[in-house]
Amino acid sequence: MAWNFDYLIIGAGFSGLTMAERLATQKGATSLVVDKRAHIGGNAYDRYDDHGVLIHNYGPHYFRTNSPRIREYLSQFTEWHPVDYRILSWTDGAYWPFPINLNTFEQFTGKKSTPEEMAATLEKWREPVTSPANSEEVIVSQVGRELYKKFFEGYTLKQWRRHPRDLDASVCGRIPIRTNRDDRYLTEEFQALPAAGYTRMFERMIASCADRVKILLNTGYRDVLPHVSFKRMIYTGPVDEYFDFSEGRLPYRSLRFEEESFTPQQLVAREPVSGKKGFWQPAMQVNYPNDHDYTRIVEMKHATGQLCENTTIVREYPDDFGLGREPYYPIPAPDTSAVYARYKERADAEPDTSFIGRLATYKYYNMDQVVGMALAEFDRISRK
């Protein structure tokens, strides 16, 4: 006997759950949401570890947006804990303010400066390019080669196993470069974490429409296809998988996360480094462009503001995508875009499936962007 739903939604991440919630509460539609993982939330899933510390399971997720609509939408399901996300970079045996700003510049030159002096010096260092075509050009054309090599080249090689020259300008171009003392990692107007965590927020999204939305975890969607009838599919998984890789495999970058926890007693010895009781490192995130195999160490307790005696750090190791590895990052580059273009053509021609989210559109999107995309797709479907 087949299950009947209006919609079959593949993926219980930001994009899939936004669609399920909108369709249920605004249209009265029923959905079956299927995810192969054991939990909801996709890559934004967070959890309390065995030491009682709230950690982001799949790497740090710093929510930010410039869109009032997206913020208002999510605010129905969560309070917010405002955070000015601040990070450091560790290189040449020292911590550096990052992204590059006036403080970084002063540490680099060893003398006090004004924004005007910094701008004038960068003007001398930079290698002018009218329209940066790749991730090397976008940085070198702003700050010159020495700062590029110090902060960007090694990190990018590790993270993507590609030279910055072989990546779109948008990859390193995400990172702001400032001549003032604003040392926040991000530029968006609204920067905050869901006060009780992402998973709690997702639970509240589902609770608001529990009578119309069924969630099936630990299940690959192809296993349920023969047993479900539906009018439309909302697909948020990898687009090449949907089409049986018929246009060739899309490349992804993967990651490996290594957690380590510390008790207050163990942390006493770290106080000279962290500068704070109860913490292991001096900031929520420290990037390692040139040392070690990992790219960053994240200590989320700095950002969540959790009052907890223990702490947990997570080392993030870039990895090739393959068997048993998650496709965390689409790779923005001309060669991969050419493969994706073939899938996009086929996706656009599918009459009864919507392709949304980071994997189904093969775009390096942030959380607010995929929520925006889901809201727009909901509007489009509603108008039909």
- Should residue 14 be labelled a site residue for ligand FAD when binding is judged by CB under 6 A? yes
SS3 assignment, position 276? coil
Within 10 A of 205 (CB to CB), how many other CB atoms are there? 25
- Does 371 bind ligand UDP (CB under 6 A)? Our answer is no
- Verify binding: residue 253, ligand FAD, rule CB under 6 A: no
Beta carbon nearer to ligand FAD, 40 or 143: 40
Nearer residue to ligand FAD within complex by CB, 48 or 257 = 257
**Largest separation between any pair of C-alpha atoms in the chain:** 75
| Angle value at C-alpha 268, between 266 and 273, nearest 5 degrees | 110
Contacts of 346 (CB under 8 A, 6+ apart): 243, 247
Which residue, 22 or 358, is less far from ligand UDP as judged by CB? Answer: 358
Q: In the bound complex, which residue of the shown chain has the CB atom lying closest to ligand FAD? A: 42
Of 181, 132, 182, nearest to 152 by C-alpha is 132
Q: Which of residues 286-345 bind ligand UDP (CB under 6 A)?
A: 287, 289
- Judged by CB under 6 A, the chain residues 333 through 362 that form the site for ligand FAD are 357-359
DSSP string, 96-165: EEES--HHHHHHHHTS---HHHHHHHHHHH----SS--SHHHHHHHHH-HHHHIIIIIHHHHHHHSS-GG
CA distance to 91, 148, 149, 294, 331, per residue, from 290 (Å): 6, 12, 9, 10, 21
- Select from 174, 184, 344, 363 the one that contacts ligand UDP (CB under 6 A): 174
Nearer to ligand FAD, 150 or 296 (CB): 296
Strands 353-355 and 232-235: parallel
367 lies in the binding site for ligand FAD (CB under 6 A):
yes
**Least spacing, CB of residue 256 vs ligand UDP, in Å:** 14
- Spatial distance between the Cα atoms of 315 and 131, rounded to a whole number of angstroms: 35
Least distance between ligand UDP and beta carbon 300 (Å): 13
Instruction: For residue 309, give both structure tokens.
Output: 């005696």
CB-side exposure of 64: number of CA atoms within 13 Å?
15
Does 194 bind ligand FAD (CB under 6 A)? Our answer is no
In angstroms, give the least distance from the CB of 146 to ligand UDP.
14
**Quick check: 354 binds ligand UDP (CB under 6 A)?**
no
Give yes or no for residue 89 binding ligand UDP (CB under 6 A): yes
Which residue number, 16 or 289, has a Cβ lying nearer to ligand FAD?
16
Binding site for ligand UDP (CB under 6 A): 89, 98, 151-152, 155-156, 159, 171-172, 174-175, 287, 289
Binding site for ligand FAD (CB under 6 A): 10-16, 34-37, 42-44, 58-63, 220-221, 236-237, 241, 255, 328, 357-359, 365-368, 370
